[in-house]
DNA sequence: CCAAAGCTCCCACTCAGCGGAAGCCTCCTC
DNA sequence: GAGGAGGCTTCCGCTGAGTGGGAGCTTTGG
């Protein structure tokens, strides 16, 4: 008796995408059983789809039989937001060269900051962010600066939720945090002190596009440098202006693929 | 009379992946009609699948109605080969800092070199390669050095094809090229002179992993610097050793998702 | 105002997808 | 090296998810 307990209403497409997303939360490679479990699919269904994805190079199979995301997917995805990254990358690079500190560029994705680019040398390794990674906005300098210059309704929506608290230093009182954002708007930069993880602090300035906030440009430093953090402000502001210039000609919509786009 | 001319034997999965791959060759955003054409799907089928991909954030829709690859795809794909990129990036960064020239790291993908990482400042802009982009192996220094140290059968298979000729300087005579590869193997580095595009030259050294060739590490310079190119060799070799050390602990298979993996 | 191009929606047919279960294969343990 | 457990692959007949032509809509431009 085949097909006894199929779960109707689930499209093939959604199953394929669920398989790909199964790799999001996992550090390393997954076995077929892992994939089936994470994506909520019967083993044999997962097996069939995983094989097809592997044939297309969207998954790859290691000699030990486990799967991971394939290079084909990575190659394709490099086309996303390429204009923004190509335009901004050399300047983020310059920011690192001039300061010697980990430099990064981030945009807003829903209620998170999404790190678009990150430059760091082999010496320092205070790593909380990573390219393609997300962090809560209220805990990072780039996030605060983006939120501070966002439209009111975005800020209000953000403050209307319970705020995560990665460390004891994270600011989570909505009223105080709203004041902090007002001050950031006034002074033109944001800072954090051990609000994502102990031992590191950060400073960030806004990057505008067509008059609206577009991204945050920031530095992460060890807490020991916190007191002299603001001395990097002139460089940060200078680089931000250069990124603004470099991206000004690029239409907003094509900067990065973030519109969810409505139907009908 | 619905379903009159369906093309049997084409799985939904393959249709979804074909839609994603439609964006590979195109610079910018695509209209629904473009997508349908490139992926070889009827308009209404493309419409349905594109909508579902958009809902999942794998495609994004611009205000003008056109589509591009979505940020969700990019986020996911950052997990591919992350161990390799995270381990190597700081050293590629150092290579750029020490030389001031565009530095890049590439691996072999079939008959092409695939660029994994690339660091360059805002000053110089000789851009042929890009991260996630491919170039023919025989036209690039990183490609030559990888080919030179590859297994014989890979090299033989490569030489058994007609070689592309991006510029008049590209070496395409199989016999002479085989000799060049032997010399590269002997001397431990490869160079090119205007073989991908006029005005730029390059030099690269091998990066080994578990005794086999793993990647190529190289610099691209304007042709005017060609005569002094080899003065960067000590730095290149030094950084290559550091990347080898940094990646030695990572099992080969998990470095980057390139195994096609067989079934049964 | 009309025409053309492009997008969205509809719907009944049908075959691609389904998934339980049986059979493998690999790697332990004793 | 027998026995067992865990995980992967294959099989196969049923069925509803997917299909795509076409109608209708919206947008653009002349």
- Report the residue from A69, A91, A96 with minimal CB separation from B79: A69
| Nucleotides in chain D with any atom closer than 7 Å to protein CB | 7-22
Q: What is the pLDDT of residues A172-216, one digit of tens each?
A: 999 999 999 999 999 999 999 999 999 999 999 999 998 889 999
Residues in chain A with pLDDT < 70?
Answer: 1-9, 124-126, 252-254, 257, 259-264
CB contact under 8 A, A69 and B60: no
Which of A13, A121, A130 shows the shortest C-beta gap to B93?
A121
3-state SS assignment for residue B192: strand
Task: Output the CATH code of domain B82-255.
Answer: 3.30.450.40
Q: Where are the domains of chain B?
A: 12-76, 82-255
Whole-angstrom Cα distance, residue A23 to residue A20?
A: 6
Kindly determine whether residue A62 and residue B259, on different chains, have CB atoms separated by under 8 Å. yes
Q: Is the dihedral of CA A137, A141, A145, A146 positive or negative?
A: negative
Name residues whose C-beta falls within 8 Å of residue A122's C-beta, 6 or more positions apart in sequence: B90, B91, B93, B94, B242
- A68 → closest Cβ in B52, B93, B257: B257
Q: How far is residue A237 CA from its own chain's centroid?
A: 22
Tell me the CA distances in angstroms from B68 to A64, A199, A210, B48, B119, one per residue in order. Answer: 35, 39, 21, 16, 26
User: Does the domain at residues B12-76 carry the CATH identifier 3.60.20.10?
Assistant: no
The tens place of each residue's pLDDT in chain B, 264 residues long, gives 433 455 666 899 999 999 999 998 887 789 999 999 999 988 999 999 999 999 999 999 888 888 999 989 999 999 888 888 888 999 999 999 999 999 999 999 989 999 999 998 877 666 778 899 999 999 999 999 999 999 999 999 999 999 999 999 999 999 999 999 999 999 999 999 999 999 999 999 999 998 889 999 999 999 999 999 999 999 999 999 999 999 987 776 667 767 654 433
Chain C bases near protein Cβ (<7 Å): 6-21
DSSP, collapsed to helix, strand or coil, labels residue A171 as coil
Same fold, B12-76 and B82-255: no
Cα B105 → chain centroid: 9
Burial status of residue A211 (CB atoms within 10 A of its CB: 0-12, 13-18, 19 or more):
exposed
Name the residue of chain B whose CA is nearest to A28's CA. B254
Contact predicate A218/A104, CB 8 Å: yes
Which of B115, B243, B259 has the most A C-beta neighbours within 10 Å, making it the best mutation to test the interface with A?
B259
Residue of A nearest to B17 (CA): A56
């Amino acid at each position: 008796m085949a097909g006894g307990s199929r779960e109707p209403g689930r499209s093939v497409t959604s199953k394929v995408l669920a398989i790909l997303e199964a790799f999001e939360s996992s550090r390393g490679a997954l076995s077929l059983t892992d994939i089936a479990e994470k994506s909520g699919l019967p083993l044999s269904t997962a097996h069939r789809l995983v094989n097809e994805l592997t044939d297309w190079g969207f998954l790859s199979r290691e000699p030990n039989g486990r799967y991971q995301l394939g290079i084909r997917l990575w190659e394709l995805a490099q086309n996303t937001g390429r204009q923004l990254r190509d335009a901004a990358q050399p300047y983020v690079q310059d920011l690192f060269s001039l300061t010697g500190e980990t430099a990064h560029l981030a945009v807003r994705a829903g209620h998170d900051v999404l790190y678009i680019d990150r430059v760091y040398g082999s010496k320092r390794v205070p790593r909380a962010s990573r390219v393609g990674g997300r962090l809560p906005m209220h805990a990072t300098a780039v996030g605060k600066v983006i939120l501070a210059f966002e439209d009111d309704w975005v800020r209000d929506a953000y403050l209307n939720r319970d705020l995560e608290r990665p460390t004891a230093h994270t600011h989570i009182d909505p009223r105080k945090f709203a004041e902090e954002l007002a001050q950031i708007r006034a002074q033109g930069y944001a800072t954090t002190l051990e609000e994502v993880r102990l031992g590191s602090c950060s400073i960030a300035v806004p990057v505008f596009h067509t008059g609206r906030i577009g991204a945050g440009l920031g530095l992460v430093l060890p807490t020991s440098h916190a007191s002299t953090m603001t001395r990097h402000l002139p460089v940060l502001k200078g680089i931000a202006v250069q990124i603004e210039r470099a991206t000004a000609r690029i239409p907003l919509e094509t900067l990065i693929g973030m519109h969810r786009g409505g139907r009908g």
